[in-house]
Amino acid sequence: MPILIDHLERRLGQLAGGWKGAAREGLPTVNVARLTGGLFADTTGYATVGLSRVPLHRPGHDAHLFLEFIAAEHGPEDISRSIFPRALEFVASRCLDTREAVLRGNVIPLPEDIVGGSGFVSLYAALPVYYDADFKSVVVENGDSVAIAWLIPITSGEAKFVADHGWERFEGELLNRDPDLMDMNREQIA
C-alpha cells in the first residue's frame, strides 16, 4: 500500500470510493478519495491524492512544497451530496494552474456551482489539529515530505473576519468557541 494512502487511512478511515479528477495534459490527475470509519464516528473524510506529485511554490520562500488536502464532515453517505469532492478538486486544480501552494490561514472562495445552497462559501486552510501531530506531514516513497492541509468550510462572515483581523485571531476564536468544524450545520463564529 502506498505510504500516503496508509497515512490517510490511519486517521480518516478506509478508502471507500472517490471522485475522479479531470485529466490534464502533462500533469498528474488529482483524485479525491472518500474515506470512512476513521477516528471520528459518523464522519466521512476526503483527501486529494496526486497533488503532491507537483512541487508548489511557497509564497514568501525560495523553497517549494508538496501538498495534499483533507476535509471531513459528519455524513453524508452519498458522495454526491457533499461539497467536498468538487471543492477539493477545485482547490487542487487552482494550485496546479498557478503552481502556488495554499498555506495555513489562506481563504479560498468557492464558485457558486460548488457551494449550492450551503452557507459555507469559502475554505479555510488549517493544520489538521483534530488529529495527532504526526498527521500534518508524511515522507512518501520518493523521499518527498508531503504536507497535509485541512480545508475547513467557512461562511462569508468568517472569511471577512479572517480578512479584517488575520488568521491568528480567527484561530483564536475557533479555540475559544470550539465549534465542531466537521458539522456542516454549525453556527458561524463571526
Q: Is 174 exposed, middle or buried (0-12, 13-18, 19+ CB in 10 A)?
A: middle
Q: Alpha-carbon distance 115 to 105, whole Å?
A: 20
* Cell output for 31: 483524485
Q: 10 Å Cβ neighbour count for 169?
A: 13
pLDDT at res. 80 = 75
**pLDDT tens digits for range 106-135:** 999 999 989 887 889 999 999 999 999 999
* Cell output for 97: 494552474
Q: Is 136 exposed, middle or buried (0-12, 13-18, 19+ CB in 10 A)?
A: middle
* Cell output for 110: 468557492
pLDDT at res. 190 = 81
* Cell output for 146: 508531503
**pLDDT tens digits for range 76-107:** 767 778 899 999 999 999 999 999 999 999 99
pLDDT band for position 70 (cuts 50, 70, 90): very high
